[in-house]
Structure 1
Amino acid sequence: MKTANKIIPSVKTLGTAKSIMPAALWALTISAFGIGTTEFVIIGLLPTVAKNLAISIPAAGLLVSFYAIGVAVGAPIITALTNKIPRKQLLIYLMLLFIAGNVLAGIAPGFIPLVLARIITGFAHGVFFSVGATIAAAVVPVDKRASAIAIMFAGLTVAMATGVPLGTFIGQHFGWRSTFLGVAGLGVVELMANIFLLPDIQNDAVATIKEQFSALRNKKLVLAFLTTLFNYAGVFLVFTYLSPLLMEVTGILQDMVSIILLIYGIAIAVGNIAGGKLANKTPLKALIGMLILQAVVLLIFTFTAHYTTPAIITLFVIGALSFATVPASQLYVVQTSERSNPAIINVASAFNIASFNAGAALGAYAGGWVVSSALGLSAAPWAGAIFMLLAIGLALISYQADSIPEVRPNTGDSPVSALC
């Protein structure tokens, strides 16, 4: 862990970090675009899949939950088990798994095979973002790390702005299987980007499995993971059922849903980049502020959801805030890991990604219960705000705990700060 070259040994051969950063971040961003498309396109396809497979909307919503479970389980475990594999090689393997998962989804004859395909794809997702986030943070100066993470996640948010509406359109007109096969083709492009744009990324010093999972004994990290979980439970409780909510509560025609999702996705992309800039210096403070705003806007959406124009305006603000917290959350986990034990950074990052997707699974499940109950679809926004309030409470506890110095073992220089 003593030099930057242990993470990116090609720094000396390819030039300065400044010249490498664009290529490396482009590869990560392009890959994130495809992964984001396959994760979220199912949101717009829920009515189509439900009708084709003769299942209910809440049952189709489980496809969101099972994908998230694949990420939540796969991210920390596979990240720990693959710690000895060079980073570039690992990312290439992950894209091959991503392609395979989408092909299996595209040829799935029924609901259960589709669930299994989604879980397989989720495995690739979890490890990619956990490793990719630490790489993105490692190739930029210390005061730009949240922005670098935001750039990588911009691929995911741009997918929501363009890939998800396009995938929804394709699924509605040519069948949902065509969407997944199209994403598999996109995966081939991403595979080439990883092969040709990523430098030869070697591992840092390998930590034992026990040492890596010591992240779960760090109270500050556990608070951060729980904050992420409840934050995105609130986000996905609403987002999972956004299409039926817009059609049945707001009264928007199905053909217009793709356009609304496009607006929502643009807001997410804008908010993600803005959130990265806000979080560069004080990620935890930025996170708390954005969570409070998000809870307020979700409560407002409870009332505006019944009127087309106010609903669209409110939804734009919700979209901007929903992923604005990602860079702050991920950078805070990286910083906390650095102060505690740099050897756990990758796995700590993986646990945060896992928490994100566990939150998505929880939100989708809770949302299914809410919309199936007497409360109905119109209750989804305020139910999401309840989860957001829990996240705010945990973040405030983290802020108080963050004033207590962390005892850091003498394990060498941080793999991130060594580059700065």
Structure 2
Amino acid sequence: MMTDQNAEINPNAIAQVKVLALLGAVLLVGSNSFVLSPILSEVAAGLSTQTYHVAWAISAFGAATALSALTLAGMIDRMSVGRVLGGAALLLAVAQVSSGLSQHWIWLCLSQALAGVAVGVLLPGSYATVTATAPKGREAARLGVVLTGWALSLVVAVPAAAFITEHLGWRMVYFLMAGLSVLVAGILVILLSDVRGGMTTRTSPLRASQLPGVWQLLAVMLVYMSAFYGSFAFFGDGVRTAFGLTAQGSGMFVMAYGLGFGIMGFVLGVVSPKITRGYLCLVLIAIAASYASWGLTLQSQITALAGTAIWGMLNQLGLNAMVVSLNRQAAEARGAVMGLNSAVTYSAVFAGPMIMGPIYAGFGFAAVAGLGSVLVMCGVIVSWRSA
């Protein structure tokens, strides 16, 4: 069990600062995850290669993240949280500097694989820490604030990366992210040095998956994330095709999603709902309905923007409820279970687009979203029956 040794000293102020530090960690992860996609052509030109070679760096990042999360995330259960997360953020900075110095696409792929090793510890460790150290009943509120790091990376980091690339070059994007990673690493080490995992032995991924209710929730997470990543992969092109938009125009929809996700994160920080089986199922049903409605939502840009923002809000609720539920079942193996969660999530990064690709090619985005609805409803059934 994670313990906070200085909780007696102005606990509310200390807790809020630590939550913001963990938000910064998630912001780092989201920024590294999202910035390469919109600047693919510029990076490819800089490395004198094809865009698909550069895109392989994203795959290398995802695969390394999944492997790292399976094998290394359990460190958070046994060691100083500040050192583990700070060390992971520092390793991410090294990977980002290496990415910025890349002279060949293979170099970039290896650099992003190293970034994945860091993220495989940093992301599940952040999730485990915020829920383990939150007061009972406030887990969803604290996690909602930390998850807003994903929204900030979409709303701030991605447009900033495009701007910096245009004026200073794509390499500067990675150098600036590396500077941010070093800053966050120092903050994590200082603020979380007193938070420690309570386990003395390593919990294996297999053992963690056998904890009561864990594998069922991981199965729900797999279909939930496959629906999201499969749909989001074709979302930008889907709205561009529907409304004849430019790349900049489709960026408004990505921003609407990020704003919806972020706004709901702050709402959760105030409301702090009680996460129950019924709550989780209702949220998943609402998300399934959101997917199913895209055939109607794409009738106009206004309804599509509103639907996108609502999609972001609902996904904040869904991800929040899933992570809180997993941590509740994890007992003293939160790091290991969150590692499994990250491995499942990054597996969905591959599975979702692979499944949805042929459907999008043949039937369009509304059909992709329809399958997403079916997948999420499968998650509802598993969630309800497993309780």
The alignment's TM-score, normalised by the length of structure 2, stands at: 0.87
Matched with 2:181 is: 187
> How far did 1:228 drift?
1.0
C-alpha separation between the residues in 2 aligned to 1:276 and 1:283? 17
Q: Distance in 2 between matches of 1:21 and 1:331?
A: 18
Q: Per-residue CA shift, 1:278-300, capped at 9, x if unaligned?
A: 77313433332222222222233
Matched with 2:16 is 22
Q: What secondary structure, in the 3-state scheme, does the structure 2 residue paired with 1:240 have?
A: helix
The reply to whether residue 318 of structure 1 matches residue 311 of structure 2 is: yes
Residue 289 in 1 paired to residue 293 in 2? Answer: no
Question: 1:65-214 counterparts in 2 under 5 A?
Answer: 65-80=59-74, 83-210=77-204, 213-214=206-207
Pair 387,266 (structure 1): closer, same or farther in 2 beyond 3 Å:
same
- Tell me how far apart the structure 1 counterparts of residues 193 and 183 of structure 2 sit (CA, whole Å): 17
Report the counterpart of residue 214 of structure 2 in structure 1.
221
The gaps in structure 2 that reach 5 residues or longer are none
Q: Report the more deviating stretch, 286-295 or 42-51.
A: 42-51
Select the residue among 251, 264, 275 that pairs with 1:271: 264
Tell me the amino acid that sits aligned with residue 224 of structure 1. Answer: L
Conserved? CA contact 2:144–2:316, under 8 Å: no
The residue number in structure 1 matching 2:386 is: 401
The residue number in structure 2 matching 1:232 is: 225
Q: What's 1:356 paired with? A: 345
Shift of residue 356, structure 1, vs aligned partner: 2.0
Q: Does 1:392 align with 2:377?
A: yes
Q: Which residue of 2 aligns with 1:417?
A: none
Cα deviation for residue 51 of structure 1 reads 6.6
The answer on whether the counterparts of 1:275 and 1:328 sit within 8 Å (CA) in structure 2 is no
Aligned length: 386
Identity %: 17
Shift in CA distance, 227/168, structure 1 to aligned 2, threshold 3 Å = farther
CA contact (8 A) 1:24 1:199 kept: no
Distance in 2 separating the partners of 1:61 and 1:288: 36
- Higher alpha-carbon deviation: 236-245 or 25-34: 236-245
**Residue aligned with 2:138, SS:** helix
One-letter amino acid of the counterpart of residue 344, structure 1: A
Of residues 303-312 and 90-99 in structure 1, the stretch that sits farther from structure 2 once superposed is 303-312
Partners of 1:395 and 1:206 in 2: CA distance = 36
AA aligned opposite 2:94? A
1:185–1:283 CA distance, 2 compared to 1 (3 A): farther
**Which aligned pairs between 1:246-261 and structure 2 lie closer than 5 A?**
246-261=239-254
Instruction: Indicate which of 303, 318, 327 corresponds to 2:320.
Output: 327
Give the alignment partner of residue 334 of structure 2, picking from 330, 345, 356. Answer: 345
Is contact 2:66-2:347 (8 Å) kept? yes
List alignment gaps of at least 5 residues for structure 1: 403-420
Residue by residue, what CA displacement relative to the aligned partner does 1:28-50 show, whole Å, maximum 9, x if unpaired?
Answer: 11222122111122343356556
Q: Indicate the SS of the match to 1:324.
A: helix
CA-CA distance at 1:219 after TM superposition: 6.0
Aligned residue for 2:3? Answer: 7
AA matched with 1:396: I
What amino acid sits opposite 1:11 in the alignment? A
**TM-score w.r.t. length of structure 1:** 0.81
Shift of 1:99: 0.6
| 1:257–1:387 Cα change, 3 Å | closer
What's the CA shift string for 1:81-132, capped at 9, x where partnerless? 5654311111111011111121222222343332322222122222222222
